[in-house]
Structure 1
């Protein structure tokens, strides 16, 4: 049992490093592996398994971690491994080149590891290895005009939700508004949704999302492929969809069973456009040209929206518009919050700050 616990703790350290969690968090997790001290074995793991073998794809991050490790070990008045000093020196010598790249707002690769607890071997989402690792290219500076390529708390929450309740999504047609880096869509594909339609209004974000789908070995269909005569059998589809210009006729083609959105309740000027899109996607069966009813859906469509409520007035404005557009909204946070912490190593992710809502037509 003790060996299993130690193995799990080291896995948390590695997962935090690959996700590029704040270096303080990585060091804190490393301390838990040895009762609070940064022993030689812990240092060796950070150097050999994390920095040297795994490589985060961002030398600046590795350099910060090594510097923090050395400082913390020296504060303990313990011995720093020679290899750790040598690795830090190598990163220091390459620092000027890396700093130049950082200033150019490069994108980096984070590996998000969903770790399934023991006892979930038979859970439909649980891989045989008990972990699902999702590599994602994302923005280094989320607040520098590149927010669509950042990983936000609500997308982590919605991804945990999808993996925790696969029965809600398996064999269903799913449509995500504002898909960002594509994390939720990758999780939907993992639980075998029948069709996954990912959308974003920003072309650069959409291009980055497609790259992430490729990195996760998912084929996707987009407008360009379709123009070149590709078959429409691909399960994952990427669409450029600015909410303000999306037409009802365009949206009526999709008729998803489930609509998803992560952190889409933030800008009041976007609410009328977003809700018009939701109304069109959630609309019930419509008449065909011959007068018969379209009956492809097995049950009414529903939207699951995860959001951090950063401003009460903004959220109240959203609720007012929801009511005006004849939609129903229900807070499902307590009822359907993910029962398992699949990201236990991610100290920067505060699950309690995210709320989950269902939205449906009245």
Structure 2
């Protein structure tokens, strides 16, 4: 299902070229007006991404490549696509928060895009409700994980940047719940909290999370809350690995 794959790629901010190519694939390989409208309606205007959007820079890349793809194939350009691109070009990225964005991951079976639209719309409505309601309860039911991440590793917050190894470990946990259900687990370097969310989803009794960066710990807490994970089951805390190593070496030396 190339259309579902395209939506998942977009939510994860995968390569813009691949997103557009998958949309074209679902339309017979042609990035015609129908394909362009699909990109707008089901990816750019996806309800999940409206609540937790990708970075403006990524959005511009997807739209730019989509326009280029249509022009290369000598297809008519959808007016709404051009308007959306011009609107993105005029958006100024906030210098203080421009590196932060959201990535969402679906780990359940593929859905028809129309069904996912309904799920996303329900989530969007829930997130717009007053604070006394809980908009996060839908995430587990719909097998969706959303993370706030930083795209700028030069800030020093490497723990706020998603890493491929974390996705592989999260996938292993979700595919092998019996290994983790009811267990107490210590994670060194919790980063964005992806693994912690996966552990909570499969029923780990307690997950003690540690990271050496205060900003990463704070962002991990944010992501746990974003996915409806209670802090009584998952506890993120700061652990200075350098001090631990010095303490260990001192113990070895004195022994």
In 1, the alpha carbon distance for the partners of 2:96 and 2:218 equals 22
1:241 to 239, 242, 245: 239
The reply on whether 1:197 has 2:195 as its aligned counterpart is: no
Q: Which runs of 4+ in 1 moved over 6 A?
A: 127-130
- Given the superposition, is the C-alpha separation of residues 33 and 191 from structure 1 closer, same or farther in structure 2, using an over 3 Å criterion? same
1:284-303 matches, within 5 Å, as none
- Deviation digits for residues 45-92 of structure 1 (CA, Å, limit 9, x no counterpart): 111121134343422221221111001101000111111111112222
**Counterpart secondary structure, 2:236:** strand
Q: TM-score, normalised by structure 2?
A: 0.77
More helix by share: 2
1:78 to 75, 80, 83: 75
Q: Which residue of 1 aligns with 2:107?
A: 114
Give unmatched runs, 5+ long, in structure 1.
1-7, 119-126, 221-233, 247-272, 277-362
> CA contact under 8 A between 1:116 and 1:131: conserved in structure 2?
no
Q: CA deviation at 1:109?
A: 1.1
- Deviation digits for residues 222-262 of structure 1 (CA, Å, limit 9, x no counterpart): xxxxxxxxxxxx1111121122334xxxxxxxxxxxxxxxx
> CA contact under 8 A between 2:190 and 2:211: conserved in structure 1?
yes
Q: CA deviation at 1:36?
A: 1.6
In 2, the alpha carbon distance for the partners of 1:128 and 1:216 equals 6
In 2, the alpha carbon distance for the partners of 1:128 and 1:204 equals 24
- Deviation digits for residues 147-197 of structure 1 (CA, Å, limit 9, x no counterpart): 111110100000000011111001111111100000001000000011111
2:187 to 167, 172, 176: 176
Q: Which residue of 2 aligns with 1:154?
A: 165
In 1, the alpha carbon distance for the partners of 2:70 and 2:154 equals 33
Q: Which residue of 2 aligns with 1:14?
A: 7
Q: Which residue of 2 aligns with 1:339?
A: none
Q: Which residue of 2 aligns with 1:213?
A: 224
> CA contact under 8 A between 1:106 and 1:139: conserved in structure 2?
yes
> CA contact under 8 A between 1:115 and 1:130: conserved in structure 2?
no
> CA contact under 8 A between 2:139 and 2:145: conserved in structure 1?
no
Which has more radius of gyration? Answer: 1
> CA contact under 8 A between 1:169 and 1:193: conserved in structure 2?
yes
- Deviation digits for residues 276-316 of structure 1 (CA, Å, limit 9, x no counterpart): 6xxxxxxxxxxxxxxxxxxxxxxxxxxxxxxxxxxxxxxxx
Q: Which residue of 2 aligns with 1:43?
A: 36
Q: CA deviation at 1:131?
A: 5.5
**Counterpart secondary structure, 1:244:** helix
> CA contact under 8 A between 1:116 and 1:130: conserved in structure 2?
no
- Given the superposition, is the C-alpha separation of residues 166 and 42 from structure 1 closer, same or farther in structure 2, using an over 3 Å criterion? same
In 2, the alpha carbon distance for the partners of 1:109 and 1:128 equals 14
- Deviation digits for residues 317-339 of structure 1 (CA, Å, limit 9, x no counterpart): xxxxxxxxxxxxxxxxxxxxxxx
